[in-house]
Each structure stands twice: as C-alpha cells, then as structure tokens.
Amino acid sequence: MTEAKKPAHKKPTFEPLMPLGIFLVIFGLIITYSTVYPPEFADKMVDLISGLVFLVWGGAWFYVGWKRTKKARTQEKDEKL
C-alpha cells in the first residue's frame, strides 16, 4: 500500500490586513482631527463619526491580521516539533 503524502508546508506569508489596518487608523486620526476646522456643528459631527468609524475599522483589520499571523507562526512551531 502507498503511504499518504502530507501536503507541502506553507510558510506564513505576508498578511495584507495589518498595513491596511494601519493606513485606516492613520486616515481615521486625520479625519477625527479635522473636527477642529469646520465651523458648523453638523460638519464636525460628520467628521467625528466618520473618523471614529475608520479608527474602529482599521483597528479591527489590524487585529485580525495580527491574530492570523500569530496563529500561522504557532502552527509552524508545532509542526517543527
């Protein structure tokens, strides 16, 4: 009988969610900071809400990318043992 072949080992690759998350967090900070400039209250609220949405969205993407990278690294260490 033939022995079942194990699938080729995959090294952890580049996780694109981390830099995208960082970009969105920085963009959210810029938008949130822009609440200082518009004179109208409604404009300030729009900037504040959209900036906070970008901050949460970017933070979530960074967190998911970080967890995926950490999981891939621990699986790689377990396979080496």
Rounded mean pLDDT, 52-65 = 96
**Residue 76 placed within a domain:** yes
If you average pLDDT over every residue of the chain, what do you get? 85
The rounded distance, in Å, linking the Cα atoms of 63 and 66 is 5
The token duo for 67 is 């967890």
Residue 40 included in any domain: yes
Does some domain include residue 4?
A: no
The model scores a pTM over 0.85: no
Question: Whole domain around residue 36: which residue ranges?
Answer: 17-80
The pLDDT value recorded for residue 12 is: 57
Closest-CA residue to 13 (of 52, 61, 77, 65)? 65
Residue 5 and residue 80: Cα distance in Å, rounded?
17
Count of domains for the chain? 1
